[in-house]
């Protein structure tokens, strides 16, 4: 992190978190944030469900909910980015305040509730984006008051699908009441089958992933794996935020919502390891949760992830963290004698089971 970026981060942390987040998007679009371009090498370039990634370090959904900074973000060092979540109709989300920094824990709690401008507005921006080597995906959500939440995911995909490189079915946000009920085996199989049927009507086939919660028990993870394999989904993103509050020190630790950041790393990595074992390499996995350095990204890859995503780490490490992690990952792969990141996938899984 440069001194100027460090100063900017300190200034943002003096503001209300949601105000600071909106300002950070404006700063990025104004060209005042680091955008070194895609970081890549022969070791970092990898394939994720048919997507060619310059590097395996992605941006998780939530940072750019409304796809207003896509062009800048694809030049920020990431190997792929995910925007959204988008719901069929615009919605306000939950009442403010709904975002909290847990500085003592290097963590964040949010209870946004899928606030976004709606699929039409988001799709229009995605259609106008500059295409390049960094794949752009959309996180699909459901309206809180929808009569058929399962169908909402397909509605968003039908609209936005022609303008994205991949899509993610988000049934794991803890901030929409009863949304996680869709992770049950029967419900999830039906939902994914419906979404993939919509995907198959698109002129260009794009990979579709499903994002799961870290709070599932062993039986729940088995159901997820079976539903994913049976449906033909292209991959699993593990994991979303957690409802756990174990070991937190911050006075904000009692706030309702999903916890992300450093405290999620161990839980999400163990879930990732379990999913890797259950799917036996038949599905590519994306590891998310608590990544703030190259060693943690590498740990998730060695557990079984073909790629990783980060978001909360940027709150404390700045936007340059993406490029720093990619470069550090390159060095770690070289140190261990692997020709590519792909060769390291799953080599350390047993350490986390």
pLDDT 10s digits, 97-116: 999 999 999 999 999 999 99
Strands, DSSP E only, in 119-187? 136-140, 166-170
Catalytic residues, by residue number, are 173
Cβ-count burial of 95 within 10 angstroms (0-12 exposed, 13-18 middle, 19+ buried)?
A: exposed
Determine the length of the chain: 353
Helix (H) or strand (E) run with residue 84 in it = strand 80-86
Q: What is this structure's pTM?
A: 0.97
248-to-16, 174, 244 alpha-carbon distances in Å: 21, 19, 10
User: Residue 295: what pLDDT?
Assistant: 98
Distance of alpha carbon 306 from alpha carbon 334, whole angstroms:
17
User: Residue 174: what pLDDT?
Assistant: 73
Is residue 57 helix, strand or coil? strand
Low-confidence ranges of the chain (pLDDT < 50): none
Residue 19 structure tokens: 């105000």
Residue 149 structure tokens: 């939440």
Q: Please tell me the total count of domains within the chain.
A: 1
Q: What is the phi/psi pair of residue 179, to 5°?
A: -65, -40
Start-to-end CA span in the chain (Å): 34
Q: Which CATH number does the domain housing residue 179 bear? A: 3.20.20.70
Q: List, in sequence order, the alpha helices (H) in 161-264.
A: 185-199, 218-231
Residue 15 structure tokens: 């503001």
Distance of alpha carbon 231 from alpha carbon 196, whole angstroms:
8
Domain holding 341, by residue range, is 3-352
pLDDT single digits (tens) 225-283:
999 999 999 999 999 999 999 999 999 999 999 999 999 999 999 999 999 999 999 99
Q: Which residues contact 164 (CB under 8 A, 6 or more apart)?
A: 126, 136, 137, 138, 206
Give me the residue label for tokens 């994205």: 164
Q: Which residues contact 254 (CB under 8 A, 6 or more apart)?
A: 245
Distance of alpha carbon 33 from alpha carbon 27, whole angstroms:
6
User: Residue 180: what pLDDT?
Assistant: 63
Is residue 261 helix, strand or coil? strand
Is there a contact between 88 and 146 (Cβ–Cβ < 8 Å)?
yes
Closest CA to 11 of 2, 1, 30, 24: 24
Is there a contact between 134 and 45 (Cβ–Cβ < 8 Å)?
no
């Amino acid at each position: 992190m440069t001194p100027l970026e460090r100063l900017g981060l300190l200034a943002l942390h003096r503001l209300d978190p949601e105000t600071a987040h909106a300002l950070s998007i404006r700063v990025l679009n104004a060209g005042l944030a680091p955008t070194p371009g895609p970081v890549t090498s022969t070791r970092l370039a990898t394939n994720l469900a048919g997507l060619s990634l310059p590097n395996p370090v992605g941006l998780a959904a939530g940072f750019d909910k409304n796809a207003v900074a896509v062009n800048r973000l694809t030049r920020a060092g990431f190997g792929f980015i995910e925007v959204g979540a988008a719901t069929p109709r615009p919605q306000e989300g939950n009442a403010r305040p709904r975002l909290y920094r847990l500085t003592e824990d290097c963590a964040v709690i949010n209870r946004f509730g899928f606030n976004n401008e709606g699929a039409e507005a988001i799709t229009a921006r995605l259609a106008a984006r500059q295409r390049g080597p960094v794949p752009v995906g959309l996180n699909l959500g459901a309206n809180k008051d929808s009569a058929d939440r399962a169908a909402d995911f397909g509605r968003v995909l039908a609209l936005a699908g022609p303008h994205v490189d991949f899509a993610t079915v988000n049934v794991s946000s803890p901030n929409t009441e009863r949304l996680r009920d869709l992770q049950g085996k029967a419900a999830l199989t039906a939902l994914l089958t419906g979404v993939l049927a919509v995907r198959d009507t698109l002129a260009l086939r794009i990979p579709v992933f499903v994002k799961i919660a870290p709070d599932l028990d062993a039986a729940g993870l088995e159901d997820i794996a079976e539903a994913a394999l049976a449906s033909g989904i292209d991959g699993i993103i593990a994991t979303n935020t957690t409802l756990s509050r174990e070991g937190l020190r911050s006075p904000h630790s009692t706030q309702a919502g999903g916890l992300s950041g450093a405290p999620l790393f161990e839980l999400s990595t163990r879930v990732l390891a379990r999913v890797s074992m259950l799917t036996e390499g038949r599905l590519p996995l994306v590891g998310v949760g608590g990544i703030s350095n190259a060693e943690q990204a590498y740990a998730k890859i060695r557990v079984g992830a073909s790629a990783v995503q980060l978001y909360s780490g940027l709150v404390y490490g700045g936007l340059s963290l993406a490029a720093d992690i990619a470069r550090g990952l390159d060095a770690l792969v070289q140190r261990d004698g692997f020709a590519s990141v792909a060769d390291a996938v799953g080599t350390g899984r047993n350490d986390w089971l």
